[in-house]
Structures are given as structure tokens and as C-alpha cells.
Chain A
Amino acid sequence: MYTEEIVQKVNEFLVEEFEVDADKIKPEAVLKETLELDSLDYVDLVVVIESNFGFKVKSEDFAGINTFADFYNYITQRVEHQLQEK
């Protein structure tokens, strides 16, 4: 389960990068529709995740991410995995 800390950090860079109204970002909202992502924007999503968390998301991983809650959970798992590896 994701933490408030992850939510805050993720929302902050999504608002900054994709210039979306912060009020529109809710756990149940659909990531692609809310951020109006096209195929090129997913490349930039990979870039901002890498610059904020230091790991790279593979494009196929996005297939399992529908809502912001899914996204927070995915990031949380990857962060935990990263910590375990260290």
C-alpha cells in the first residue's frame, strides 16, 4: 500500500511536468485520461520517474497501471524493491 509521502512526491512532479490541475489528481482517477497522455508523453513519464526515483520504468509495465492508485502502488513497490537491493 502506498504512503502519503509517495502520493505527494508523485503528484508534485506530475503537476509540474504535465501541467495538470492538482485537483484533478485523485486515486480513483484514470492516469491516461487525467494527464491526457499520448504515446510520446509516456516517454516523458519514464524520464520524470527516473529523475525522481532513480529507476527506469519499462513501457510494458504501464499496461498494468490504470488509475493513480495503481501508479502509486507501482512506484511504492519499485521503491521498496530498490531499498531491498541496497
Chain B
Amino acid sequence: MTPLLSVRDLVKHYPTADGGRLLALDGISFDLAEGEILGIVGESGCGKSTLGRSIMRLDTPTGGEIWYGGKDLAKISGRDLKQSRAEIQMIFQDPFGSLNPRHSVATIIGEPLAVHGRPDRAERVRQLLDLVGLPQSAAKRLPHQFSGGQRQRIAIARALAINPRIIVADEAVSALDVSIQSQIINLLAELRREFGLSIIFISHDLSVVRHISDRIAVMYFGRIVEQGPAGRVFENPKHPYTRALLSAVPGIPGKTNGANGKRERIVLTGDVPNIARRPGGCLFHPRCFEMRERCRTDSPELRLIDGDATTARLCACHYAEPA
């Protein structure tokens, strides 16, 4: 099966004030299938948001390719770029900052329709409100009249307005209370079932990612360090970083499964990586609790540990072994 989206060796540098450069993305490659939800997890500063923004072309990648519909999104501009943005839409974390406070909900949801010259705007806005579970009376109101969860529904309606094939959801449920969070997760899962949407679900919340994703990519320092089917990565993580990350998720004994079921807590020493200070060798070695001599000098490749094309498990650790 040909993937819907193929990212190859994506690289993004940012220049620094002293003439150097920060490597935010360092050779990211993955495929996204039609109707698939790919979870991207990692700590602050690991590049997961930059990845989402690069795919949307809100940031221009420094190198690499983003193949979608026979075009390399990393290199297009003008009309082609506008077209690709109609097919890939984004939902942001903060539903307070991402909606124009002076526009009515109808204007906000209708804007992509206007930009892309779609007909029957009013009718489509009515459909969209229905779809995301908002009352028709919402159309004339302003964002501040809604709660956080309702605003996120408005943002989702806007993202869906022009029938995109891919949604990039960057921490889309992180700012919401748990009770509201579950409603939005359900809505995204339903949209996938209904319309075969593909979703790149970026989040630091591992239990949310596990719940919604088919596959997971774990990022560290601008690289993917582990990738595979969600259930298998959570049940049997291969990379020491993934193991530590999963073990740090607090759980409720007897109630929650997965994240921190029986595993022992691994508390990592040291801080979240600072991209201005890249270590040599394996990027994780300064915090790794299983570090060996080789890790100081040799950078591990992301390699196939086991599985076939659809169940492939990749891991960038010298010492990872098949399950």
C-alpha cells in the first residue's frame, strides 16, 4: 500500500544569534497511511511541534522531502502550497489563542471555505457545527462565549471545513480538563472512522497517545528514537528512553492499564535536552541508565528490530534486541 504521506530525512535548522545553528529536526523519516493515526511523543524541545509545523509548511524545512500526492511539499510554493494546505490542516493546543476573538464562529469556520473559494458557505458551516457537536446558535457568537472544550470543537470544525485528508493535531487536548479531553479524543476518533482522515497526533501525554494512536514515534533531540505499533511499543518498549518515559507516567493502581502497570519507575537524572548543547555519540547517553562505552562515541542508527512492513518496530539503540 502506498502511504498517503512520506517524510524523508527531514531536517530543520534555526540560526542562532552568534552565527551558529540549532538543529531542531535531524533526519526524520516516516510514512503515514490513509486513515491512520500516528502519535508523536517526546519531551519539550524534542522537535515534535517543529515537525508538525514543517509538514504544514508553517516552517520551511532546511532539507529533506515531504511527499504527498506526487509532490514534495518541502519545495513547493504559491498555488501548489495553497492546494496542499487545503488537504492538510492543523489543530493547535491553545483554543484561546488560535481563534480570532473578534470574529463570529461562523466567520472563523467559514474562513477556509472563503480562502479556497468553496461554494455554499453558510450551508457547510451548519453541517460542520453539527459534525463537531455544537448547536446552530453557536454560529453568531464570539469565541469568548465558549468554554475551552467548545473552542477546541470550533477549531476542529475549521480544520475540517475543506475536507482535508490529514489533520496535524499539536497538543490538541493538552489544555483541556480530563472530562472534556475525553470528548475531544472521541470526536477525533469518530472523524477518522467516518471520513478516513489521517491524523498526526502530537502530544506529551503518553496515555492519550496510546489510546488514540495506531502507531507511535518517540522523538528525542530532533530524531525518532523508536517507532512501531502503539500497543507493542507501550507493552514492550525497546529504547531506554521510551522505557523511562513510560515508567514516569503516574497511574492509578487497579484502574489504569498500560502506561505504568507493573514496570518499575525509572527516574531519569538530568534535564530535558537543550538543543543548543548536543552531546556526541548517542544523543541520549548523558541521561541513559544503561549507557556503555560505545554510546559515548557511536551514534546509533534507527534500525529495524522486528516485524514486517506493517508491524515494523524501529529503534535507535545499539543494544536493542528483537522481542
Q: Do A and B come from one complex?
A: no
